[in-house]
Structure 1
């Protein structure tokens, strides 16, 4: 970074290292960092929860003035999380607690006379709570209403698990509301998500909340871009992309393989389903090789899987917000069949190449009909993304908020 520019200092706290941008939250935080680096000297503090993400400080320093990456021990984090039961806190908070991160945050604010703070995810707000009254412009990007996700998880469980998830939903919602009161502005990944959160707030807080949508790199996710083909992909195939240790993605593919995929196979016995994403859980791994299903695990590039299959699917049953997997498929000019949950925040009109459906049998029929066609290049889908989902225009909203510009 060029010191002569004398940009304002910005503390940027992220719960997961924003590089490489290879999963949903990291894609958003990476693009936030990239765009904000044009206007601010960024001091980045983040955690690393995957050994594959170690060693990327040089890449981060292309955008940041200073970087602090702390590697997490997931087992230790889970043990720390249980302390929430002793303090009557949401377990999310002690899970991410860190004396090292707190010390670095305190020193960075003091040494760099920081007045602007951007926090990515509610769990990271704890590190600046003690400083908020002295800071000038503070923004908390919740991304999603995490408390509601826990509520959704609880609705699918019973007994002690339902109690546990409901407890986390209640306590985390209390913390989300408290942070909305103390931060100058709070943002979510879509207007729909922001609107849902506003229903939890008193009227005097609602104006502090807004949506800042995800975008997509349409030059990278372009069917005409240069990427290596995958030779083994079957002709009549569909694909789901996403981190396969994320509950919402795991839930989606299990629901789909239980309820929809058998109906597709009954009509199209040669159909093939690719589940593409890192760290598949044991439940997802167990699907590999059964019912014409391939679980790839981590791949260097998801584009060939999107481009070479006939359609993408996003049958999410849990989660809200704008889904990167949907935007990427649209940008690749690919037909997509998705659930209403996955469609939230996108607001695209339904077409033959973009079908929203929650009923299992109807979803199977849509997929079967699309498989009957050849490879379809949906220029409508790509044109929609190019027009409505620019990273630069959306991320600039954070610049405005950090400079005290609202409305």
Structure 2
């Protein structure tokens, strides 16, 4: 089977939520047959990343999105009645290269990663066989994220975020009209999609959730290369891409509303913030906040996870399934997460991880965790057991392959029906 995989971000290295998922999907497509990748990147990928993808793929189309140009495109897209998201990830060179590719190669299926890349299906009309099944992995329902941002914003930002949410919602409904199958990362996300798309998309569209997984062999506190890393009492850690708004906002919220009071009770407490491309706001916050250590980009996050007494995931806006929760649990770290960050993870609250809402709740739970060694041990063991049982990648990728085969079989059996790409 020959697959065309269209992603919004270069899937290697798999060091952030979207690239972790897309890279594992890419590996499975290669195992199922051959795969061509069409993708974008912000910075020129390392030689090793190019090598890995060239070995996996029969062909790779990769183009820079151009940081300054993409925001101009986003503004133009918004003014033209479309979403900012489409402008951010729309690229003429990639569209032209894709048009040429599909005119010379015949694909058995097309898989689109994220709603931002569905725009590339428009120019495939009339070139791709109408019966070629198209599957879109929404991952998260992005429109809801923008509605959540709007609820927390003020002034012109509130208006822009609300508009983006409304336009993305319309785009997401349109995806159901042009695709044979739709994926999301949790049952909650698929239920949300069905709630607003029901009656507006064909009943025969396949909709299914396939969670993310975690590499439990790699994210293992007992790994030999981590033998010399010792836990530091009362050390907290957050790991996540810091150029992602929800992560940066969550860290800022925690540092302003929780960390100062925790340090009053536990003066030795320090908070390591690990992740790529922190913005000026976080850098300034770290300079003026005692106990906040802005680590930035590191080649391996595991030592920072292992040395922490607990991992905190204080996201105030969160969609889907947070890999950072799974990875911290896999490293046998006690995890304290916001309600949004924990949603979508099938766990036992207070047994596998702790869930907090208000600043007072966070302060109380962290105090209890620091003072109760038995609680820390129980959370560490249960969290590790949870990911081993429910979140291994092999299980999720089997679900993916089964889903794609079911969609393909259904399309072949209904070859007389029309499936427009619009």
**One fold, TM greater than 0.5?**
yes
Change in 2 beyond 3 A, CA 1:324/1:29: same
Partner of 1:107: 100
Greater percentage in helix: 2
The 10-residue stretch of structure 1 (389-398 or 212-221) with the greater mean CA deviation from structure 2: 389-398
Partner of 1:253: 251
Change in 2 beyond 3 A, CA 1:166/1:76: same
8 Å CA contact 1:9–1:112 kept in 2: the answer is no
8 Å CA contact 2:318–2:340 kept in 1: the answer is yes
Partner of 1:326: 325
Deviation at 1:116, TM superposition (A): 0.5
Partner of 2:275: 277
Q: Work out whether 1:124 is the aligned partner of 2:117.
A: yes
Deviation at 1:305, TM superposition (A): 0.8
Partner of 2:414: none
Partner of 1:303: 302
Deviation at 1:399, TM superposition (A): 2.3
Deviation at 1:161, TM superposition (A): 1.0
For residues 58-73 of structure 1, the aligned pairs below 5 Å read: 58-73=51-66
Partner of 1:4: none
SS in 1 for 2:347: coil
Deviation at 1:38, TM superposition (A): 0.7
Deviation at 1:292, TM superposition (A): 0.6
Partner of 1:174: 170
For residues 74-93 of structure 1, the aligned pairs below 5 Å read: 74-93=67-86
For structure 1, list consecutive stretches of 5 or more residues without a partner in the other structure: 1-7
Partner of 1:3: none
Deviation at 1:205, TM superposition (A): 4.6
Aligned length, in residue pairs: 400
Partner of 1:158: 154
SS in 1 for 2:324: helix
Partner of 1:212: 210
Please give the alpha-carbon distance, in whole angstroms, between the structure 1 residues aligned to 2:63 and 2:181: 27
Partner of 2:419: none
Q: Work out whether 1:362 is the aligned partner of 2:358.
A: no
Please give the alpha-carbon distance, in whole angstroms, between the structure 2 residues aligned to 1:86 and 1:236: 50
The 10-residue stretch of structure 1 (57-66 or 232-241) with the greater mean CA deviation from structure 2: 232-241
Partner of 1:400: 402
Change in 2 beyond 3 A, CA 1:44/1:367: same
Please give the alpha-carbon distance, in whole angstroms, between the structure 2 residues aligned to 1:230 and 1:104: 49
Residue 88 (structure 2) aligned to one of 79, 82, 95: 95
8 Å CA contact 1:239–1:274 kept in 2: the answer is yes
8 Å CA contact 1:315–1:338 kept in 2: the answer is yes
